[in-house]
Amino acid sequence: MPGVNAESIYNNIPKMIAYDKPYICIWDNDDEGINYFEKSKKAFGKIEEKKMFILPNLYNKNKVRMEEMFNDEDFKNLCEILQLNKNSSYSSIMTALVTSTDEIIEKCKSVISEKTKSSFDELYNMIINVYKN
C-alpha cells in the first residue's frame, strides 16, 4: 500500500496488524522517514520491527528518497516510453508505469540504468529476507 508520506505509513501499520495482512514498511532515508521509522519501532515492538526498513543509502547521500534511487536519465527514458511530458513527476511516472501493458513495462525495464537496478536490487534483497524469515 503506497503511502503519501512517512506518517501515512505509520498510520497504516495498525490496519495491517488488525487484519493480519503481511506487510513491509519502507521509509525514505531522510529526516522524516528516519523519525517515523524510529517511532514505529517503539510503538509496534520487536516483532513488527522486522518488517520495517529505511531505504538503503548505497552512495552516501545526505538523504535517499524513493524517487532518488532512480538515475535522472532513467526518468527521461521512462517519460519517453510512457509518452509523458519530460518534466513529469515521479508520482505521475509510477502511476503510468503500473497501469501500463506488459509490453510497455518490459520496454521500461530495458532502459533502466545499472546504477538504478543496483539500488533496487539491494531493496529487493531486504524485502526477500523478511519473507524468508
Q: How many whole angstroms separate alpha carbon 116 and alpha carbon 77?
A: 13
Among residues 53, 56, 45, 46, the alpha carbon closest in space to that of 23 is found at: 53
Output the pTM of the full model.
Answer: 0.77
Provide the Cα torsion 112, 109, 124, 30; round to 10°.
40
DSSP β-bridge partners for residue 27: 54
User: What residues contact 59, with CB distance under 8 A and at least 6 apart?
Assistant: none
- Per-residue confidence (pLDDT) for residue 123, from 0 to 100: 87
Q: Decide if pLDDT at 46 tops 70.
A: yes
Q: Mean per-residue pLDDT for 95-109? A: 94
Q: How many whole angstroms separate alpha carbon 67 and alpha carbon 54?
A: 14
- Per-residue confidence (pLDDT) for residue 2, from 0 to 100: 66
Q: Confirm if 114 and 72 have CB atoms less than 8 A apart.
A: no
Q: Mean per-residue pLDDT for 103-113? A: 95
Q: Name which of 11-15, 68-72, 102-106 the model is least confident about.
A: 68-72
> What spatial distance separates the first Cα and last Cα of the chain, rounded to whole Å?
21
Q: Confirm if 1 and 27 have CB atoms less than 8 A apart.
A: no
**Residues 52-94: tens digit of each pLDDT:** 999 988 778 778 888 888 888 999 999 999 999 988 988 899 8
